[in-house]
A and B are shown apart, each in its own frame.
Chain A
Amino acid sequence: MSTLHVVSHSPFGDTRFDSCLRLLGAPDGLLLCGDGVYALQAQSRPFKQLEARLSSLQLFVLTEDLQARGLSCPTWAQSVDYPGFVELSIRFDKVNTWL
C-alpha cells in the first residue's frame, strides 16, 4: 500500500514536516504545497534532509506555490500543477493530508 503525504505548512513553524519524514515509507510519496514548499529553501535544514533521502524519495511540489514564494524546484524534485496533484492522489492508494 502506498500513501501520498501532503504537507502544506512551513517546516520551520512546527513538527509536521519532521514527523512526516519519520513515517514516510519506501513506496510513499511526499507532496509539498502551500507553505510546505519552504522545505525547498536552498541550504536550509529541511532542504538538506530531503536531499539526503533523494535516492528513496518520491518528492512532488506544487509549481504555483513555489513560484508565489520566490523559490525554484531542485532537479531532484518533480514539480506538478493541480491536474498533476489530482493524478497523484489517484496513483497512490491513499492520501494523508497533514492538516
Chain B
Amino acid sequence: MSKSLLVISRQTPMSGPSAREALDIVLAGGAFDLPIGLLFMDDGVFQLQPGQQASAVQRKDLSANLQALEMFGIEHLYACAESLAQRGMPPRLDLDAVQVLTPAQMSALIDRYNQVITL
C-alpha cells in the first residue's frame, strides 16, 4: 500500500517558489493516485484569497493550479482556522472544498498521515 503524504504550505503566493512547489508536489502525487492532503497555514492561507490578479506584477496566477486540485482528485484540503482569523480572511475562500481546522484537529491530521512535508 502506498504511503500517505501531507503537504503543509506556509508561504504567500508571491514570496517565492514555495507556494507553487507545494502545489506541484500535491498535483504530482494526485496524478499517481497517492493518498495526499494539503494544509494551508500561516501566510499560506493568502493563497486562498479571492480576487488575486498576479498579472498586475507580471506573475502567473496560482489559482488555476488550485482549481486543478479537484480535477486531480485531491479532496483533502485544509486550512488553519487561527491563521485565517489572524489575517481577517473572509469565510469565503477561493477554493470551496477547504476544511477549516482548529490546532487540535491539525495535530490529529498530521497523526493520520505517514509522511509530512512543510514548505
Count contacts on A: residues with CB < 8 A to the other chain: 20
Neighbour of A70 across the interface among B42, B53, B59, B86, CB < 8 A: B53
Q: Is the interface of B mostly helix, strand, loop or mixed?
A: loop
- Given contacts A38-B12, A45-B86, whether A70 and B43 have CB atoms under 8 Å apart is no
Task: List 13 other contacts, CB 8 Å, given A34-B14, A64-B56.
Answer: A12-B43, A12-B86, A35-B12, A35-B15, A38-B12, A43-B88, A67-B56, A68-B14, A68-B57, A69-B12, A69-B49, A69-B52, A70-B53
Contacts of A12 in B (CB 8 A): 42-43, 86-87
If A12-B42, A38-B12 touch, does A65 touch B88 (CB 8 Å cutoff)?
A: no
Count A/B pairs, Cβ under 8 Å: 58
Distance of A90 Cα from B12 Cα, bound (Å): 30
Interface size on B, residues (CB 8 A): 21
In the complex, which residues of chain B have a beta carbon less than 8 angstroms from the beta carbon of A34? 14-15
